[in-house]
Amino acid sequence: MTRYVIFLAFLLFPGTKEKAFAQQKPSYKQAEILWDTWGVPHIYAKNDESLFYAYGWAQAQNHGDLVLQLYGQARGRGAEYWGEKYAEADKWVITNSIYERAGEWNKVQKPAMRKCLDAFARGINDYAAKNADKISNAAKLVLPVNATDVIANAHRVTHYVFLAPSAKVAAALAAQGEKNGSNAWAIGPKKSASGNTLLLTNPHLPWNDLYTYFEAQLVAPGINSYGISRMGFPVLTMAFNETGGYSQTVNTNDGQDFYELKTVDGGYLYDGKIKSFEQKEKIFKIRQTDGSFVEEKLTIKHSVHGPVVSDKGGRTIAMRVAGLNQSGIFEQYWEMSKAGDFKAFEAAVSKLQIPMYTLMFADNKGNIFNLFNSEVPVRPTGDWKYWSGIVRGDTSATLWTKTHPYKDLPKVLNPDTGWLQNTNEPPWTTTWPIVNKPADFPGYMAPPLTMSFRTIGSVRMLMDPKKITLDEFIALKLNTKMELASHILPDLIAAAEANGSAEAKEAATVLAKWDQLTETTSKGAFLFDQFVRKWVGGSSKLGTLSTESTLFAKAWDAKDPVNTPRGIADKEAAVKALLAVAKEVKEKHGSIDVAWGDVFRFRIGDVDVPGNGGSGFMGVFRTMTLAATQDGKYAPSHGETYVAAIEFSKPLKANVLTSYGNASQPGSKHHSDQLQLLSDKKLRPVWFTKKEAEDNLSERTVFE
Catalytic residues: 182, 204, 640
Q: d(Cα 400, Cα 413) in Å, to the nearest integer?
A: 30
Contacts of residues 465-471 at CB distance under 8 Å and 24 or more positions apart, as own/partner, are 467/191, 467/192, 467/193, 468/187, 468/191, 468/192, 468/193, 468/198, 469/193, 469/194, 470/194, 470/198, 470/645, 470/647, 470/653
Instruction: Give the 3-state secondary structure of residue 118.
Output: helix
What Cα–Cα distance (Å) separates residue 13 from each residue in 1, 38, 308, 516, 697? Answer: 11, 18, 61, 50, 10
Whether 354 contacts 327, CB under 8 Å:
no
Instruction: Give the 3-state secondary structure of residue 616.
Output: helix
Contacts of residues 684-689 at CB distance under 8 Å and 24 or more positions apart, as own/partner, are 684/38, 684/655, 684/656, 684/657, 685/654, 685/655, 686/226, 686/644, 686/652, 686/654, 686/655, 686/656, 687/36, 687/40, 687/42, 688/217, 688/226, 688/242, 688/651, 688/652, 688/654
Q: d(Cα 49, Cα 41) in Å, to the nearest integer?
A: 17
Buried b (16+ CB within 10 A) or exposed e, 429-459: bbbbeebbebeebbbbbbbebbbbbbbbbbb
| Residues listed for the chain | 704
What is the H or E stretch that residue 201 is in?
A: strand 198-206
Q: Give me the amino acid identity at 94.
A: I
Q: Give me the amino acid identity at 134.
A: K
Whether 599 contacts 589, CB under 8 Å:
yes
Q: d(Cα 639, Cα 658) in Å, to the nearest integer?
A: 12
- Contacting residues for 451 by C-beta, under 8 A, at least 6 apart: 425, 429, 459, 547, 556, 561
What is the H or E stretch that residue 36 is in?
A: strand 31-36
Q: d(Cα 491, Cα 79) in Å, to the nearest integer?
A: 53
Report CA dihedral (448, 453, 455, 457) to the nearest 10 degrees: 150
Exposed/middle/buried for residue 314 (C-beta within 10 Å: 0-12, 13-18, 19+): exposed
Within a 10 A sphere around the Cβ of 37, how many other Cβ atoms? 14
Q: d(Cα 36, Cα 684) in Å, to the nearest integer?
A: 12
Cα 394-397-401 angle, rounded to 5 deg = 105
- Contacting residues for 400 by C-beta, under 8 A, at least 6 apart: 257, 320, 377, 378, 379, 380
Q: d(Cα 305, Cα 308) in Å, to the nearest integer?
A: 9
Q: DSSP class of residue 540?
A: G
Ordered alpha helix ranges (H), 164-266: 167-173
Whether 623 contacts 616, CB under 8 Å:
yes
Strands (E) located in 432-523 = none
CA 228 to chain centre: 11
Q: d(Cα 237, Cα 210) in Å, to the nearest integer?
A: 14
What Cα–Cα distance (Å) separates residue 519 from each residue in 8, 148, 367, 658, 697? Answer: 51, 46, 34, 19, 33
Buried b (16+ CB within 10 A) or exposed e, 363-388: bbebbbbbbbbbbbbebeeeebeebb
